[in-house]
Amino acid sequence: GIQVEQSPPDLILQEGANSTLRCNFSDSVNNLQWFHQNPWGQLINLFYIPSGTKQNGRLSATTVATERYSLLYISSSQTTDSGVYFCGKSHSGGGADGLTFGKGTHLIIQP
Amino acid sequence: EAGVAQSPRYKIIEKRQSVAFWCNPISGHATLYWYQQILGQGPKLLIQFQNNGVVDDSQLPKDRFSAERLKGVDSTLKIQPAKLEDSAVYLCASSFPGRLIDEQFFGPGTRLTVL
């Protein structure tokens, strides 16, 4: 079946550092999204990015569909960036497009 | 616009009891999804509806889980009877298919504890 692998599983950084989170997937992509899960468990949408590059403030993301990976960049990290980051992707263009998620990257930003 | 609404936010039951969760998607979103997130893992799709029809329920444990979306808007997910391993957060999401961007938006989830 579809596999989504995220790395690293855990990342501890000092405030102000930059980080790169990776998402590898095993087949073609129809939808790819990055989320930040807040301490209360809600998934906050960061990017909808099945291909190309997008930027939103200190965050940016790139998906290279032909090479089956996506990257999430966080620059000048703040303590509020702490939490779990998930990527989720679907592969079907035929309507059944539920997301398959990786196990997440647990990011801790220390002051 | 209002986001995806879910209730209750928390539920504690004993094993073999029944429980139901409710979801109201973003207005106008025809597609609705239920996901299960076990602690330490990513969410896993249980069922997808398009309006009031089921598109994908391949990962729904049908011996104990059921879901319906009778009028194509609200949805209910039921577990009967619950097992200890059903302890998880149940997330509802919705999307507006047919647009160029088919982005899914998630509700706050219902945290279920089975004792």
Chain A neighbors of B5, CB-CB under 8 A: none
List per-residue pLDDT tens for chain B, 115 residues long.
689 999 999 999 999 999 999 999 999 999 999 999 999 999 999 999 999 899 999 999 999 999 999 888 999 999 999 999 999 999 999 998 766 667 999 999 999 999 9
Q: Å from A106 to nearest chain B CA? A: 10
Structure confidence at residue B36 (pLDDT)? 98
Extents of the domains making up chain B? 5-114
Cβ B41–A100 below 8 Å, yes or no? Answer: no
Extents of the domains making up chain A? 4-90+104-110
Which of A91, A97, A105 to mutate to test binding with chain B, by most B CBs within 10 Å of its CB?
A: A97
Chain A neighbors of B103, CB-CB under 8 A: 31, 33, 45, 48
- A31 in contact with B at a CB cutoff of 8 Å? yes
Cβ B101–A48 below 8 Å, yes or no? Answer: yes
Cβ A48–B43 below 8 Å, yes or no? Answer: no
- A14 in contact with B at a CB cutoff of 8 Å? no
CB pairs under 8 A between A and B: 61
Question: pLDDT-derived band of residue A29, with 50, 70 and 90 as boundaries?
Answer: confident
Cβ A31–B103 below 8 Å, yes or no? Answer: yes
Side-by-side strand order, sheet with A52-56? A4-7, A19-25, A69-74, A59-64, A52-56
Question: Mind listing the pLDDT tens digit for each residue in A38-84?
Answer: 888 889 999 999 999 999 999 999 999 999 999 999 999 999 999 99
Average pLDDT across chain A, whole number: 93
- Look up residue A80 and give its two tokens: 């509020």
Nearest residue in B to A40, CA atom: B108
Q: What is the mean pLDDT of residues A86-91?
A: 91
Q: Is the predicted pLDDT of residue A93 greater than 70, yes or no? A: no
Cβ B42–A42 below 8 Å, yes or no? Answer: no
Q: Is the predicted pLDDT of residue A92 greater than 70, yes or no? A: no
Structure confidence at residue A27 (pLDDT)? 86
Of B75, B53, B73, B77, the residue nearest B64 (C-alpha): B77
Task: Name the CATH superfamily for A4-90+104-110.
Answer: Immunoglobulins (2.60.40.10)
Architecture, CATH, for domain B5-114: Sandwich (2.60)
Structure confidence at residue A38 (pLDDT)? 87
Query: B89: helix, coil or strand?
Result: strand
Torsion sign (Cα): B62, B65, B68, B74: negative
Structure confidence at residue B70 (pLDDT)? 83
Structure confidence at residue B96 (pLDDT)? 87
Cβ A43–B101 below 8 Å, yes or no? Answer: no
Q: What is the 3-state secondary structure (H, E, C) of A37-105?
A: ECCCCCEEEEEECCCEEEEECCEEEEEEHHHCEEEEEECCCCHHHCEEEEEEEECCCCCCCCCEECCCE
